[in-house]
Amino acid sequence: MIGFFGKYDRLFSKEIAALAVLMVANFICALTVSIIFDNQDPETRSMIQLATIAFISMLSCVVLIQLNSSRVAAVEAMDTLVAKDKLTGLANREAFQKNLANRVENEKSQAFILLLLDIDRFKELNAFLGYSSADQLLQQFATRLAQLAKTDADAARIGGDEFALIVPYDGSSDSLKTKVRDIFEALYKPYLCHKQSVDMTVSMGTTLFPEDGKDPEGLNQNAYFALQRAKKEGHNRVCCYDEVADSKMMDYHYLSQDMDRALQEGEFVLYFQPQFSFATGKQTGFEALVRWAHKDRGVISPNIFIPIAEQNGLIIPISEFVLRKACQVASKWETPLKVAVNLSPIQMRQCAISDLVTETLLETGLDPKRLELEVTESLFIDINDEISADLLLLQRRGISIALDDFGTGYSSLAYLTSFPFDKIKIDRSFVQNLANDDSSMAIISAVIGMGKSLNMQITAEGIEDKRAYEILRLAGVDQAQGFLLGEPRDIEAEPEQTTQTPLLPRFEVA
């Protein structure tokens, strides 16, 4: 029995272990008395046993009372320890949230400012200085926060380089400005690391109780969005929660959180926009365009959700869905029209795109000559040999490679000689400015000339008026695409759109 407790006593509290030992001692003592007085008459023996057990039981109670008193003190000490961040000594996230909830629930609570703070580019400092030195900086930062909170404020470390502060104020705008300015200036002063001065800046988001919110969740959310706006606007600044200014940030956060669900539940759908040949007047294919058919908001434009998907990493599964779905739909068309699919630069850099495309073509049975992959200029800023090899391999298998949105972002005619594109797509911004901007026509003419000399086809997208249509036709553009000629449609719902090849309309321009 004693051996059992010796082996497993770490699994039990001190109280349980002590009680078990006393119980064993009680049993042994009674047994010993019974043996010693075995020859005594039963009545005498029973009295001795009862007295012994009573004595041991009383001793057990005394020991347990003492242990319980020690336990209470130990639990209190443990609670204090658990509520603290080990590195900085500040309250941790859980303790801070409890403090925040207590302040909000207290009817007599004074108005206060909730500040969320993020040390700017701390990961870079961490990599440059090393973990030990970076920890020293965090401790110095925490010390300053603790000094700011030494009276009736609360300070906490809620993440790696993220901190929080609750500061009471009298509700006036002057008090608000003064307190926030003092905090910002105190944290901005240089820090010391190995006798060297180190500059650290901080981004801060603030919200007010009770003006901006009366519950912890709402206050946390408001301060978070204000902090994100401060970081987005260039760091080293304070942004106060503003319902109008932060509505876009809130919407961004909501869509980002909801995107994975939407992908799993099939809310992303493909629309197809027709493309025509200026020379023959016949339709040559479709471009596959992804839309988010949100269950509550209706159709969401890719201009809204694509940047979000690029930030949260879901652009890769979304892009894979678009490729597979487009090839699957196109493989069922009666007329062998081409289908154009956009590839994300992030997808290109992180995935073996040739393997994915080859696998998709095998799965769907689509002829490689009917697939066109569109890549953007941004891919070619830091294109590597592996990406170029992937694209060349696909091209050798009969797949067309088009340079999409040419003329925007990182425009350079040098890109046209860096890879043997099959097609150049002139961005809609130049097409839509043709009537009012001579420079747009000059750029388009230069692109057409360069493309022709390199044996590349030219497609103009975003054609919405007859004048632009005729100007581009006469300029020698090969293909046309735009709302004037055909809006994006759900071809799966309208299969008749692919059973004929409509002729390109002719327009007379005065």
Closest by Cα among 174, 327, 308, 179 to 253: 308
One-letter amino acid at 88 equals T
| Number of C-beta neighbours around residue 8 at 10 A | 10
Please count the CA atoms within 13 angstroms of the CA of 69 that sit on its side-chain side. 5
Taking only the tens place, the pLDDT of each residue in 116-173 is 999 999 988 888 888 889 999 999 999 998 888 876 678 999 999 999 999 988 888 8
Containing domain of residue 391, as a range?
251-498
**Whether 198 and 311 share a structural domain:** no
**Whether 97 and 179 share a structural domain:** yes
What is the three-class DSSP state of 309? Answer: helix
Q: For the chain, what is the mean pLDDT?
A: 81
**Peptide bond preceding 210: is omega within 30 degrees of 0, i.e. cis?**
yes
Closest by Cα among 305, 308, 307 to 268: 305
Tally of structural domains, the chain: 3
207 located within any domain: yes
Dmax (CA) of the chain: 133
- Local confidence band at 500 (pLDDT 50, 70, 90 cut-offs): low
Instruction: Give the Cα separation of 178 and 430 in Å (integer).
Output: 50
- What is the domain-level CATH number for residue 467? 3.20.20.450
**Whether 126 and 42 share a structural domain:** no
Q: Which residues of 238-262 are buried (b: 16+ CB within 10 A; e: fewer)?
A: bbbbeeeebeebeebbebeebbeeb
**Whether 275 and 144 share a structural domain:** no
- Specify whether the CB–CB gap between 255 and 261 falls below 8 A: no
Domain final position from 220, 245, 270? 245
Domain final position from 82, 107, 135? 82
Taking only the tens place, the pLDDT of each residue in 175-200 is 888 888 989 888 988 898 888 888 89
Instruction: Give the Cα separation of 276 and 400 in Å (integer).
Output: 16
Helix (H) or strand (E) holding 277: strand 268-277
334 located within any domain: yes
Report pTM. Answer: 0.65
**Whether 21 and 116 share a structural domain:** no
**Whether 128 and 45 share a structural domain:** no
Taking only the tens place, the pLDDT of each residue in 53-79 is 545 555 554 444 454 444 544 444 444
- Specify whether the CB–CB gap between 21 and 5 falls below 8 A: yes
Q: Which two tokens stand for residue 308?
A: 């979000």
